[in-house]
Structure 1
């Protein structure tokens, strides 16, 4: 068994000619076909597994070692396993061996199997097949044959491509000195033009860009659906998770324009009352519709790019305060399902539910920030510490009295020892000062650090009040 070593990714844009782009597009097209074929085969085999009577009975019984072994045996009997899909894709690749290598095809099969596994275990509602316009990536298993890096060039069968490295990019230059495990090539559509990128999966730890603190320094995080409160011994701050101005007006206009175009080119697919006819329908899309669709896709790409960049910056700032990072366990998927308003449609009698946090969680992606912090901590052989939310009850606890008091969400201030303390910042302070077991607040430590916290808290509250930010002003009003 191969020993696992730490790795990181560094990305560059490929310098390609018209001929290079033509060849890569052909390879990507083949990769999509193979991926879709593997996905379809995985779903077929999973269907056969679920139809098995013994499997159906065992799934409903209590989990045990013998039961789990038997479930795996049934799955193997129907060929539902990663290595069985590798054998299946081997025969398919005989038709495309001039385009993709065996390792590259196996990686596509693994990706398809993992997608179906998520669907199988309820982590995804459905699986998606790749369309001809979807972005695609192809990767290898090693850097020895097929798609590989050699002499600072990307070699892929007949292709030999350079990639852009900025002269002042010291991070990239240091990263290229590490051993390359394998290579991944991606295709993205940016501002209506197709561009190709290469990701090098390098061995070891990434070069340090930012100065990090020591392990002894604790940081408490109270993360919400759109804001974050952070408390350390030297800094207290509260901010939006990402400074994103979602262009809702533009998106609504694009959606309406696309709907009008779709209706005008497909009148046969609609009923007299404007609803879509049931059953299989062939849709015709005009050039104008496709242009609008690409504009909409570009808006979402920009939003995602800004969000990720902001999260990376926030994570770096938090880790500069301390490496003992503690946060409440939050189930954002459950929050996303909550509703704040339920109405019944008078025409069809259907119940309409208005999500309480759905839009804010989708726009700010709080779970993504926690994943980034955890990834960066793993480079130091550490991990994000998650406290027991139900045991600590940080939003209700008062360390001076030792009592828990339920509060309305609209109540943003706590009266602690005759001092007004912002609710989220105080929760972060309590999370910072939990014990090693992560289920109890260390009251002695809270008493020791409280005066310093109040000074930093007051400075941060004054900063927030001076900001012209409606969201943050509501939290300190």
Structure 2
């Protein structure tokens, strides 16, 4: 599967699309609140307290089995541990399912409290499609389940900011994607938003529309430097994109490693032992521009909010009100626009590198590092290391150069050609 993004000409209908995002955001907020409420009810239920107490019994049995030296007693303790473990596992499953918080991805969109009532009203007015609401519900539950797997998490979801709510997804509405533009509305009363093609977009889109099936499509909005929403359509096709051959051009096994220290992709051909480096650290001066905007934003924030800082320059603790001047908003919009350019430039470079790699072999082995571990902030201990030595944490570089984004893209392109693909994570 791959995605084609096309800009839309929405002149005269910005309020129409803004209304869809406004009500979509309200649904998203209601969904987050629903799952948080269900989690709170689950934790405070008598069944949860009972199971939590029996988990202590399970841990006690496990400790006794480790400490005892009598083989018969150890065998009995292990048998009791296994039986209690299976019983508790089933108990947790029943408890989670009773609150709609089971591990399955299925979500009954008719039983989501206030969110279901809101959806029925919005759907009757033709504002929100059922597939959009279902997609939001599934994504919200995935976020909850991800937090529940984290050991130290409180399992509480945060409501996203309105400006970060940027995409509405649709499926089983393929008739809305036409050669002329994106179509909205009921039969006989259509609104068509024409596409704005750039470079080879029209060729790729026409090729895909004539030969391939549409899996999903989404409406995406992006703030420009003037704080105005710009809209585009994301069309997800289910086959090989235009320009990709049906099979690899060359044979052989290629080992691809991500070098964090040099911020480069290294490929090694197993047969010829030929090494090729692809630089991913070349930011074309973007990092310096970002640093400039960060500095100016901090200066503007301090000048406009002097009462929010201590004498030593640190931010005061507690609830504060921040004043954002016109100059601050202008700088913020310019920084946001620069980030869009960075992401687009990085994406184009990654596409080119990944395409060169998949066309030069029929098997790929990726050796990657634990990026999440590298991004964790390391505490500075002046007795053991100086400040320069503590720069082992590479969070900023990893965020800026996004090596994992490249690996995901490489895996996707390898699937187009049916290449053998495997990954190995280095542990430090």
Structure 2 contact 370–426 (Cα < 8 Å) conserved: no
Residues 90/159 of structure 1: CA separation in 2 closer, same or farther (3 Å cut): farther
Residues 56/285 of structure 1: CA separation in 2 closer, same or farther (3 Å cut): farther
* 1:335 and 2:390 matched: no
Residue in 2 that maps onto 1:134: 164
* 1:15 and 2:50 matched: no
Q: Secondary structure at the match of 1:328?
A: strand
Residues 84/123 of structure 1: CA separation in 2 closer, same or farther (3 Å cut): farther
What is the TM-score with the length of structure 2 in the denominator?
A: 0.76
Residue in 2 that maps onto 1:111: 139
Aligned residue among 83, 93, 97 for 2:119: 93
Matched residues, number: 375
Distance 2:101 2:330 in 1: 41
Unaligned ranges ≥5, structure 1: 1-6, 345-351, 394-477
Unaligned ranges ≥5, structure 2: 60-81, 384-388
Deviation at 1:332, TM superposition (A): 1.6
Deviation at 1:185, TM superposition (A): 0.7
Residue in 2 that maps onto 1:187: 221
Deviation at 1:342, TM superposition (A): 3.5
Deviation at 1:35, TM superposition (A): 0.9
Q: Secondary structure at the match of 1:369?
A: helix
Distance 2:92 2:418 in 1: 35
Structure 2 contact 250–359 (Cα < 8 Å) conserved: no
Aligned residue among 333, 341, 345 for 1:306: 345
* 1:231 and 2:274 matched: no
Structure 2 contact 255–366 (Cα < 8 Å) conserved: yes
Deviation at 1:127, TM superposition (A): 4.8
Residues 140/66 of structure 1: CA separation in 2 closer, same or farther (3 Å cut): farther
Q: Secondary structure at the match of 1:384?
A: strand
Structure 2 contact 248–417 (Cα < 8 Å) conserved: no
Q: Secondary structure at the match of 1:83?
A: coil
Structure 1 contact 243–310 (Cα < 8 Å) conserved: no
Structure 2 contact 256–365 (Cα < 8 Å) conserved: yes
Residue in 2 that maps onto 1:79: 100
Distance 2:183 2:131 in 1: 15
Bigger fraction of residues in helix:
2
What is the TM-score with the length of structure 1 in the denominator?
A: 0.69
Deviation at 1:90, TM superposition (A): 1.9
Aligned residue among 343, 356, 363 for 2:400: 363
Residue in 2 that maps onto 1:445: none
Deviation >6 Å, runs of 4+: 58-65, 123-126
Deviations 1:30-84 (A, max 9, x none): 1112112211222232233344324545778699766544323211222335525
Residue in 1 that maps onto 2:324: 285
